[in-house]
Amino acid sequence: MEEKIPGITIDSKIRLAPDMVITPPPVESLLAQGIESSYWPRKVRENRELDKQVRLRRNLSLKLDALFHRLPRPTADVTLAVDSMEVNGNALTVLYESLAEFFESDKRNARLVLYLPFELLPALTWRPQLPGLAASIERFINAYMRCWKELLGETDVRANFADGNILEPELSPNGQKMVRKAAHLIPILLEKRYISMADVMALVKNSSEEILKNSIADTLPAIAKLGLITDEERGQLPDWAVTDKSANQKNTFANSEEKGRTWFFNLHEEAEFELKKMDMRLARDLERGYPKARALWERIDREEKLISEYANNISKMLAVNSLTAEDAMRYLSPAREMVLRLAAIRGIGKAIELIAENDFKKAALNIGAYENTVRNLCLPNSLEDKEEITSMLSRLFQLGLIDEAYINSFGLVLPKLNASFSDDQERIKAEIREFAPAILLLATDPVAHEFLHPFAIFYGSFLKGYARNNADLDVAVFVKPGIPVIKRKNIQDRLRKIFSHERIKGKIVEYWLEKKNGMLEVRDFTKPDVYLADRTWIHLLFAGIWMGKDNAIKDVYEKLLPGFLYSGGKILEGRDARMLWLGEMEREVLQYRLMHKGYFRLNPREGGIDSDGTDGLDPQSAFWDSGYRRLATILFIKRVFLPQLEENFR
Do 276 and 402 belong together in one domain?
A: yes
Q: Give percent of the chain above pLDDT 70.
A: 93
Do 298 and 402 belong together in one domain?
A: yes
Bigger pLDDT: 465 vs 326: 326
* Cβ pair 442, 548 in contact under 8 A: yes
Average pLDDT across the chain, whole number: 89
Decide if 328 is inside a domain: yes
Do 471 and 369 belong together in one domain?
A: no
What digits encode the pLDDT tens for the residues 300-312? 999 999 999 999 9
Do 436 and 394 belong together in one domain?
A: no
Quick one: average pLDDT of 416-441? Answer: 80
Do 286 and 398 belong together in one domain?
A: yes
Q: What's the one-letter identity of residue 411? A: G
Most confident by average pLDDT, 103-107, 227-231, 288-292: 103-107
What digits encode the pLDDT tens for the residues 60-96? 999 999 999 999 999 999 999 999 999 999 999 999 9
Decide if 203 is inside a domain: yes
Q: Distance between CA atoms of 135 and 143, rounded to whole angstroms?
A: 13
Q: Distance between CA atoms of 41 and 48, rounded to whole angstroms?
A: 14
- Examine the pLDDT at 335 and tell me if it is beyond 60: yes
Do 442 and 400 belong together in one domain?
A: no
pLDDT in the model for residue 237: 85
CA distances from 371 to 378, 413, 439 (A): 11, 17, 42
Decide if 151 is inside a domain: no
Among 564, 588, 614, which residue terminates a domain?
564
| DSSP conformation letters of 422-458 | TTTHHHHHHHHGGGHHHHHHHHH-HHHHHHEEEEEEE
Under DSSP, the state recorded for 387 is H
Decide if 176 is inside a domain: yes
Among 379, 408, 437, which residue terminates a domain?
408
Do 478 and 450 belong together in one domain?
A: yes
Quick one: average pLDDT of 424-446? Answer: 81
Lowest mean pLDDT among 167-171, 202-206, 606-610: 167-171
Q: Distance between CA atoms of 505 and 62, rounded to whole angstroms?
A: 40
- Examine the pLDDT at 9 and tell me if it is beyond 50: no
Decide if 491 is inside a domain: yes
Q: Distance between CA atoms of 413 and 428, rounded to whole angstroms?
A: 13
Domain residue limits at 445: 425-564
Under DSSP, the state recorded for 363 is H
Q: Domain tally for the chain?
A: 3
Do 236 and 268 belong together in one domain?
A: no
Task: Give the pLDDT band of residue 122 (cuts 50, 70, 90).
Answer: very high
β-bridge pairing 452-459 and 474-479: antiparallel
Residues 6+ apart with CB under 8 A from 448: 441, 442, 454, 494, 495, 498
Do 273 and 382 belong together in one domain?
A: yes
417 closest CA partner among 463, 365, 453, 363: 463
What digits encode the pLDDT tens for the residues 236-268? 888 777 755 544 444 433 444 567 899 999 999
* Cβ pair 102, 112 in contact under 8 A: yes
Q: Distance between CA atoms of 218 and 241, rounded to whole angstroms?
A: 8
Decide if 97 is inside a domain: no
Quick one: average pLDDT of 595-610? Answer: 92
Lowest mean pLDDT among 238-252, 504-518, 605-619: 238-252
Do 392 and 431 belong together in one domain?
A: no
Q: What's the one-letter identity of residue 584? A: E
* Cβ pair 176, 166 in contact under 8 A: yes
Q: Distance between CA atoms of 342 and 307, rounded to whole angstroms?
A: 7
Do 401 and 491 belong together in one domain?
A: no
Decide if 125 is inside a domain: no
Decide if 591 is inside a domain: no
Do 333 and 383 belong together in one domain?
A: yes
β-bridge pairing 156-157 and 178-179: antiparallel
pLDDT in the model for residue 4: 41
Most confident by average pLDDT, 173-177, 238-242, 557-561, 597-601: 557-561
